[in-house]
Amino acid sequence: MVVSNPGILGGTPVFRGTRLPVRTLFNYLADGLSLDYFLETFEGVTREQAQAVLRYGLERIAAELAR
């Protein structure tokens, strides 16, 4: 779902098949914009990709708090 390649935006994690940084999704949501609006704006990202990234972020936070 996400790739990091030094040749693409200096290794910034992006959605696979795009040059769109994953952090853009989090920025949109943090700014109060909806997931639907994000998906309409960036048609190269699927709902499944976005949901998987959000789930992964949640899992990482839960793992950090469990330490």
Domain boundaries, the chain: 2-66
Q: What's the CA angle centered on 50, arms 37 and 34, to 5 degrees?
A: 25
Confidence bin at 12 (pLDDT 50/70/90): very high
Q: What is the pLDDT of residues 41-53, one digit of tens each?
A: 999 999 999 999 9
Whole-angstrom Cα Rg for the chain: 12
- For the cut 90, the answer to whether the pLDDT of residue 8 exceeds it is yes
pTM exceeds cut of 0.85: yes
Owner of token pair 């992964």: 56
Q: Measured in Å, how far apart are the chain's first and last C-alpha atoms?
A: 26
CATH number of 2-66: 1.10.10.10
- For the cut 90, the answer to whether the pLDDT of residue 67 exceeds it is no
* Joined tokens for residue 48: 């499944």
Residue 40 host element (H or E): helix 35-41
Q: How many CB atoms lie within 10 A of CB 36?
A: 9
